[in-house]
Amino acid sequence: MNTVFYKYQGTGNDFVMIDDREKNFPVSKEFIASLCHRRFGIGADGLILLQNETGYDFRMVYFNADGGEGSMCGNGGRCVVRFAHDLGLFSEKTTFIAVDGLHEATVSDDIIRLKMSSVRDVQKFDEHDFMNTGSPHYVTYVDHIEEVDVVNIGSGIRYGSVYGPKGGVNVNFVEVKDQNQLSVRTYERGVEDETFSCGTGVTACALSAHLREGWESPIHVKTIGGALEVAFEEKQPGEFDDVYLIGPAVRVFEGKLNLPE
Ligand SMILES: N[C@@H](CCC[C@H](N)C(=O)O)C(=O)O
């Protein structure tokens, strides 16, 4: 059987997108990993199923490039909102369900404004911060971001004795560029490589910079794949609500896929 697939990217974080409202996509770790493979497949950092969900516009089901179901993906969330908009499921404002719960989003021209989960329990250490923004993130600061060996250092932390046994972590390297301006590079768990951008990672870095630098919302973040903005409110110290990830998400192409029998 054939099905149509779409490819979307949000600041260079790219996803195979499937309209699975009829729930007939054959979910298997091996099949999804083969579709995401950059030599033998379509090539992507992850795969997203858009499914029906009673009471909401849709459900987002996210898989990392290794084929395993992931925790929340911020850029994938922005891309699936663009996809739902392209399908005509809403016009300006949407609500949908993802693995971490309810999300709201708006579309204005090329910009998607995605409401992220509230953030609690930020752990501050001398050399890094740790927090869960829908996915777990390690945030560390560097002086010259372009010189960082993101893959080797990132995988060492992801599989290391502290975070490895707890399921691993995404690892973000941050350089402070100016007031309210960061540059970020991320090693992503489940892709097991550096990606061009990580939305939940960028969100974690902005909240970390607020706590360390005292900056107010919004914070601007440059990634390899483009620029994002993070807006938030801190009503109680260390408690972040109304957290928004803001930036572009676009359809790149579409094609036909042979589904396994
Ligand atoms: N690229 C994503 C993050 C995806 C989640 C992550 N790889 C994990 O499962 O830990 C983003 O934009 O947030």
**131 and 213 housed in the same domain:** yes
> Ligand 1: which residues within 6 Å by Cβ?
13, 64, 70-71, 73-76, 135, 170, 188-190, 195, 198-200
Q: Is 152 annotated as a binding residue?
A: no
Note the residue count of the chain.
261
**Strand, coil or helix: what is 164?**
helix
**97 and 131 housed in the same domain:** no
CA distance 31 to 27: 7
SS3 for the chain is: CEEEEEEEEECCEEEEEEECCCCCCCCCHHHHHHHHCCCCCCCCCEEEEEECCCCCCEEEEEEECCCCECCCCHHHHHHHHHHHHHCCCCCCEEEEEECCEEEEEEEECCEEEEECCCECCCEECCCEEEEECCCEEEEEECCCHHHCCHHHHHHHHHCCCCCHHHCCCEEEEEEEEECCEEEEEEEECCCCEEECCCHHHHHHHHHHHHHHHCCCCCEEEEECCEEEEEEEEEEECCEEEEEEEEEECEEEEEEEEECCC
| 15-43: average pLDDT | 97
Place of tokens 């870095």: 205
What pLDDT digit, counting tens, does each position of 200-251 carry? 999 999 999 999 999 999 999 999 999 999 999 998 999 999 999 999 999 9
Tell which residue, 248, 238, 163, has the closest CA to residue 207.
238
Q: Is 200 annotated as a binding residue?
A: yes
**253 and 237 housed in the same domain:** no
Which ligand 1 atom is at minimum distance from the Cα of 170?
A: 10
Which ligand 1 atom is at minimum distance from the Cα of 201?
A: 13
Run of H or E residues at 222: strand 219-223
**37 and 65 housed in the same domain:** yes
The one catalytic residue among 36, 79, 198, 205: 198
| 91-112: average pLDDT | 97
Q: Report the share of the chain in percent with pLDDT over 70.
A: 100
**147 and 215 housed in the same domain:** yes
Tell which residue, 83, 40, 27, has the closest CA to residue 60.
83
| 13-34: average pLDDT | 97
The one catalytic residue among 36, 73, 79, 205: 73
Task: State the pLDDT confidence band at 260, using cuts at 50, 70 and 90.
Answer: confident
What pLDDT digit, counting tens, does each position of 45-80 carry? 999 999 999 999 999 999 999 999 999 999 999 999
**48 and 12 housed in the same domain:** yes
Domain that holds residue 166: 123-246
Let me know if residue 8 belongs to a domain. yes
Residue 261 confidence (pLDDT): 77
**89 and 135 housed in the same domain:** no
**62 and 163 housed in the same domain:** no
**147 and 235 housed in the same domain:** yes
Rounded to whole angstroms, what are the CA distances from 173 to 34, 77, 181, 187, 222? 29, 22, 14, 9, 12
Eight-state DSSP code of residue 69 = B
Q: Which of 62, 66, 71 to mutate to test the pocket of ligand 1 (most atoms within 8 A of CB)?
A: 71
Q: Is 73 a catalytic residue?
A: yes
For residue 70, how far is its CA from the centre of ligand 1 (angstroms)? 7
Cis peptide before 218 (omega within 30 of 0): yes
Q: Is 132 annotated as a binding residue?
A: no
- What's the number of domains the chain is made of? 2
Which ligand 1 atom is at minimum distance from the Cα of 186?
A: 1
